[in-house]
Amino acid sequence: MIDKKIDTSGVHIIKWANGNIKHEFWDIDAYYIKSETGGKRISSGNRHRIDGPAYSRFSEDGRLRYEEWYVRGNEITEDVEKWIVENGLPHWSTWDDQTKMWFKLTFGE
């Protein structure tokens, strides 16, 4: 019997045993089902993030291994990386509001 269905769209983090982040991913249409016997997170698999990569993987010592960009479940990593280089942009984590808006207008939501 299902007690609760909780929307968990947004960021989901899985950690290594040492506490460092292993995976960070952003989903839309994700939820957590809580029942009498426990719970389970269900995801549509639709990665989505409009202000950074929707999937990041880290090594056990905390170093970033790679990032993937998605909008509404469509992977756009190559397009984003090309756009960043062509426009001489810094790492996404340092973007100002104007650059973030430019990204949103270019890749859309």
Paired tokens of 78: 């190559």
What pLDDT is attached to residue 1?
A: 40
What pLDDT is attached to residue 27?
A: 79
Residue 5 and residue 11 in contact, taking contact as beta carbons nearer than 8 Å: no
Over the stretch 42-71, which tens digit does the pLDDT of each residue have?
Answer: 566 678 888 889 899 999 999 999 999 988
What pLDDT is attached to residue 76?
A: 94
What pLDDT is attached to residue 88?
A: 97
Ranges of residues in the chain with a pLDDT under 70 are 1-9, 29-45, 109
Q: What is the 3-state secondary structure (H, E, C) of 20-86?
A: CEEEEEEEEEEEEEEECCEEEEEEEEEECCCCCCCEEEECCCCCEEEEECEECCEECHHHHHHHHHH
